[in-house]
Amino acid sequence: MEGIRERRHAKIYVMGKRVTDVTTNLFLKPSVLSFKATFDAAFQEDTRDLARAFSPFINEEVNRFVHIHQGPQDLVAKVKLLGG
């Protein structure tokens, strides 16, 4: 979460008010925690295979949540990762 908190180039506003720390803002915190969970899943042994996908665009593995779906198997893997 430190990396999210320490962003340098983004200015975040919610309802017209500047947010200085997205990790503690009540409106943004659920989204930040979801983002953290998807990032962590790519490094946890039990979810690693589902949380990563091979990208033919850059020729390497990427997080499944930023992966451009190549077929139905990608959608199935994402649903499984989400607990479906």
Q: What is the pLDDT of residues 10-49, one digit of tens each?
A: 889 999 999 989 899 999 999 999 888 988 999 999 999 9
The range of the structural domain enclosing residue 58 comes to 45-84
Task: Tell whether the torsion through CA atoms of 71, 30, 15 and 2 is positive or negative.
Answer: negative
Q: 83 and 53 in one domain?
A: yes
The three-class DSSP label of residue 6 is coil
The three-class DSSP label of residue 38 is helix
| Contact criterion met (CB below 8 Å) for 18 and 29 | no
| Number of domains within the chain | 2
Provide, rounded to the nearest whole percent, the portion of the chain with pLDDT above 70: 96
| Contact criterion met (CB below 8 Å) for 83 and 50 | no
pLDDT the model gives residue 44: 93
Which residue in 26, 29, 76, 69 sits closest to 50, CA to CA? 76
Q: 82 and 49 in one domain?
A: yes
pLDDT the model gives residue 84: 58
Q: 52 and 28 in one domain?
A: no
Q: What is the pTM of this model?
A: 0.68
Q: 36 and 72 in one domain?
A: no
